[in-house]
Structure 1
Amino acid sequence: MRLDSLTRDQIRAFAGAKIFERGEEYLTSELVNELDIDSEGIVTAKVEGTDTYEVEVWEEEDDVGAVCDCPYDGHPCKHVAAVLLAYLEHSAKQRKAKTKQPKAKESASGGKSAGSLKANLKRCTHTELVELVLEGTKGNKDFERKLMLRFVPDSKKTLTTLLQQVKTVRLKVSEYENYYSSSCRKAAREFKAILKVLTDAPPEVRVEVRFAVADRILPFLNEYGFSNEPLETALELALAELVKDVATPEFQPQRDQIIQWMRRYHDKGNHGMTDELLACLLKLSATEEELRDTIHWLEKKGSWSSYYRKLIAELYAKLGDEEAELAALSKNLEGMPDHWRLAEFWTKQGAADKALKTCWDGVQRGKGYSEELFAFLREDCLRRDDAEGLFTLLVEHLKRPYGGWHMEQLSASRRMLYRESSSSGDFLQEHELLRDRLHKQGDTAGLVRLYTLYLNPLKVSLSLYQEMEHLLPEPERGAITEKVLGHLKQKIGKDTWGSSPERRLLAEIYAHGKHWDALLDLVKNDFDLLAHYKDRLAPLHPHVYLEAYTKEVEKLINGRGRSNYRAAAEHLLEIREFYERHLNQSRKWLVYLEELKRANLKLRALHEELGKVRL
């Protein structure tokens, strides 16, 4: 949503009527101060209340982004509303001022008048121009820094000034601030502005200032132990250029200092930048001595770690030490990714048999998941026309759904996600290859063997169930689909309450077969599933839906909170449809709505949400 096209009605809808009114009171009481709009269109201001609160507002694609460091738990707060209204007022004044500006008079020749800016500047004396430039630096640190880097020949003085500016950037976190802290966003912008002007600075100035910025941000993040995207972005900019700056031999002492600094904070690790630091450290390791020193540091951190072993092997490869590289790759060979890296090594060495054995060992005994291993073995099976090998590979693959987890280790929601990823026809490639081969050969026994793989433990999706129905002839089709339904019903058990992947899948199968009574019996005590099949079941069973939705609305209202009221309002629209469309009882709907409003007369936020959906 564009801030420059924002209206009072949009602010009221964004904040809610009550918060909007409080924001208006703050504005009329002149409690909004230091309103500023930066070059990126971000609006900042300070609002006086119980304390002085910093507010920041910015554009988002379909909304307004805002943060305030006040302790109010809701969003947005009255301070944000006040700043939005102040911005609206400021924009209106700006537009009005522009329309009142007279057009520049033109000379008799038709050109621009002698009063143009360029002509007037040319007539200024040297002293007047200097005064104008100095006046322009007031409150504009970016302009001041650019002038300093261009016209101050003393790089030491420039460096001292820039370092002082880095030092005075305000970094703070109050008890109410978090990832979206406005003060952190403001600090990040100031750091970025300093970094931006360094392009034309002498190399020694660039190195010192970029390191100073990094050394302000990283200790701060490490001390408080939280992620902050604006500050992390500024830190990444500083580190990326710093690594380039110290790549030359003249900056060897600084590079050594920066390497030790990065290692120290990587070891502390109470921040979200460990991966970035490690990537920078690897780039800074250029000489043989630096590479071996980095290897030694990584080994001390834990050569038992698959990730560190991978990095150590890569560094040995840079050194051309194949024996040490192989030793690192072969150590503690437990995970599938470890096996794949070793297989890649053997492939580069031209040892195809060793690579193949390593891959089979990986899929059969390795932990985790590696698609590369399966792809390598799949291609080998195809090359040798090995159907039995594909069966073996599929069995192993089914033990490891996407994400590298065994099925029994997955939570119910993760298992459902796995099934949903397959419901669009996204079968494992081994399955597709075997299915097409067996169907083409008319091998019914082979197809039954294929589908039986999915029964214990059950790993069936709707698309797989539909495929069984389509490809298997009777009586095999009926036998295996009955087994699927039996497994699902057994998993669901006698408890008819609560959602589960098995219940969702059985509901999909019932809907696919148009078994509406069985579907209703399955989902009637699960509101989410009942709502999911509303379009199919509500016309057949409107009273069931009316009862379920009215209970849900009552539960949401009793739970209090604007989000609950918003959901209740949406459900009331559905209830109106049940009354008017399916039951033809418009009068009862009006009575029900009026009674609900009367019973909750004091819940202003509820009535606001009802008003938003015109109820």
Structure 2
Amino acid sequence: MQTKVYWAVIDRIVKELNDYGMDDESLESVAIDAMDKLNPILLADEGLREEKQAIIEQLLKYYHQGNCGLVDWLYESAEELCSDKSDYEILIASLQKHDSSYHRGLLASLYAAIGDTEAERRALEKDLKYGMDYWRLAEYWYAQGNDERALEIVQQGIERGEGRKDELYDALQRHYEEQQDYSKIFELLQQKIVKKEIGGYRNLRQDQTYQSLWKHFASKKDYQRQKTLLDLCLKNKDIDLNLYKQAEQTLHAEDWQTFHLKLIEILQQQIQGERRSQNRGMGGIFSGIAFMPYTSQGAVETFAEIYTHENNTALLFETIKDSIKLLATYEKKLLPEFAAAYLEQYRKQIERLIAARGRENYNAAVPYAKTIKRIYVEMLNTPDKWNDYITTLRQNNETLRAFQEEFVRLS
């Protein structure tokens, strides 16, 4: 009786969620809690086999409908109820009707669960397309103790597979590392670059193959190979402050000078290209508006980090002077030297935010006003100018109640 109550709760909730294509966290929690209580009862009592298998079939029916947020949980719940071959065969028969890469992977795991390695292999070998298809097949051969065949599949997957290939590259890299064949690992890195399959969020220096090579060449004090890797980063336009620091610490003076000039040139080209692209995309409507900077923050921020590292405040300011966001970021460092420029930019930004209306914008303007007050009162020792500024600002916007409320503490 208890099993029927639990299942009635689950069935009613899942049916409703599926019928209406709903996601409802509270209802889902009730269903999951009921299954947590139902599962051990069904598995503990052999006399409930027929009831259990009927529940497995219904869970799979809802799973294939796939019209609610519990899809993965439905399949997992059905699989967790399996305790013998006949249970697994229900899942196998259900999945055989669906021929996607994902379902073939599930099928293979079910065949493995019942010890049918031949059926597992056939499922994995069918219609190899994606990198993960090849990786699942390679894992099969590794599990069978046939590393040579697994490695062949790994190499085929790297060459032919589509989509994610991280596991394939990692396996081949480990093989070469075991052989201490770093020339092959370097070829692997070049292959990743050509195929645009760099890992580490597409950042070359964060890619595991690059890191393996760097660690090895550094341990061997192989200067030329380290220089080659750094040059690859430039060629690949993967430039950030960490690359700058690594090159600065590694390269000889003459090589560093050449590298530094090339790095700066690439960043400048990126900014110019992004500037043209954004101007075309915006049709010029935001030109000259500092709170919608026309340059890419990525390249500009990299420049800013480099000039901060070099302690070059003049170039730092010249780089970020049109970006309110970056002016605020580097305010502590730049304000003593460029107070007049900050006054001008922050006053303009406050006017823009007020013109945009809304309490959120008024609130965002307050920090800029506080800095203006600090400049007038503490740095320039002209409190009268601050009083004139804030009084005029309030008078010009006296009808904006939310503005007055946000600025009430400024005096």
What TM-score do you get using the length of structure 2 for normalisation? 0.84
Report the counterpart of residue 393 of structure 1 in structure 2: 188
Identify which of 471, 475, 478 aligns with 2:250.
471
Q: Distance in 1 between matches of 2:22 and 2:165?
A: 31
**Structure 1 stretches of 5 or more lacking a match?**
1-203, 408-417
Q: Distance in 2 between matches of 1:490 and 1:238?
A: 60
For these two proteins, the number of residue pairs brought into alignment is: 390
SS in 2 for 1:454: helix
Letter in 2 for 1:213: V
Q: Distance in 2 between matches of 1:229 and 1:401?
A: 38
Report the counterpart of residue 241 of structure 1 in structure 2: 37
Superposition map of 1:314-353 within 5 A: 314-353=109-148
Query: What is the deviation of 1:227?
Result: 3.4
SS in 1 for 2:345: helix
CA deviation profile, 1:210-266 (whole Å, cap 9, x unmatched) = 223323433443455453433322222122222333333333343344233323332
Report the counterpart of residue 74 of structure 2 in structure 1: 277
- Structure 1 residues 483 and 539: CA distance shift in structure 2, 3 A: same
Report the counterpart of residue 462 of structure 1 in structure 2: 241
Q: 1:339–1:366: 8 Å Cα contact kept in structure 2?
A: yes
Q: 1:381–1:389: 8 Å Cα contact kept in structure 2?
A: yes
Q: Which protein has the larger Cα radius of gyration, Structure 1 or Structure 2?
A: 1
Structure with the higher fraction of residues in strand conformation: 1
Structure with the higher fraction of residues in helix conformation: 2
- Structure 1 residues 565 and 401: CA distance shift in structure 2, 3 A: farther
Q: Note if 1:508 corresponds to 2:305.
A: yes
Superposition map of 1:94-133 within 5 A: none
Identify which of 191, 203, 210 aligns with 2:6.
210
Superposition map of 1:186-335 within 5 A: 204-205=1-2, 207-247=3-43, 248-301=45-98, 303-305=99-101, 307-335=102-130
Q: Note if 1:559 corresponds to 2:338.
A: no
- Structure 1 residues 551 and 365: CA distance shift in structure 2, 3 A: farther
Query: What is the deviation of 1:440?
Result: 4.5
Letter in 1 for 2:405: E
Identify which of 146, 157, 164 aligns with 1:362.
157
Q: 1:439–1:471: 8 Å Cα contact kept in structure 2?
A: no
Report the counterpart of residue 486 of structure 1 in structure 2: 265
Letter in 2 for 1:587: D
Q: Distance in 2 between matches of 1:602 and 1:344?
A: 70
Q: 2:108–2:123: 8 Å Cα contact kept in structure 1?
A: yes
Report the counterpart of residue 430 of structure 1 in structure 2: 209
CA deviation profile, 1:312-331 (whole Å, cap 9, x unmatched) = 11001012111111122222
Query: What is the deviation of 1:478?
Result: 1.9
Report the counterpart of residue 535 of structure 1 in structure 2: 332
- Structure 1 residues 216 and 395: CA distance shift in structure 2, 3 A: same
Q: 2:199–2:207: 8 Å Cα contact kept in structure 1?
A: no
Q: Distance in 1 between matches of 2:246 and 2:94?
A: 54
- Structure 1 residues 218 and 573: CA distance shift in structure 2, 3 A: farther
Q: 2:131–2:168: 8 Å Cα contact kept in structure 1?
A: yes
Letter in 1 for 2:246: E
CA deviation profile, 1:446-489 (whole Å, cap 9, x unmatched) = 12221122233312221122101110113222222322222221
Query: What is the deviation of 1:493?
Result: 0.7
Q: Distance in 2 between matches of 1:482 and 1:459?
A: 15
Identity %: 32
**What root-mean-square deviation, in Å, do the aligned CA atoms of Structure 1 and Structure 2 show?**
2.7
CA deviation profile, 1:531-570 (whole Å, cap 9, x unmatched) = 2222222222122222222222222233333332322223
CA deviation profile, 1:4-61 (whole Å, cap 9, x unmatched) = xxxxxxxxxxxxxxxxxxxxxxxxxxxxxxxxxxxxxxxxxxxxxxxxxxxxxxxxxx
Query: What is the deviation of 1:443?
Result: 3.1
- Structure 1 residues 559 and 231: CA distance shift in structure 2, 3 A: farther
Letter in 1 for 2:232: L
Q: 1:312–1:328: 8 Å Cα contact kept in structure 2?
A: yes
Q: Distance in 2 between matches of 1:577 and 1:219?
A: 63
Report the counterpart of residue 370 of structure 2 in structure 1: 573
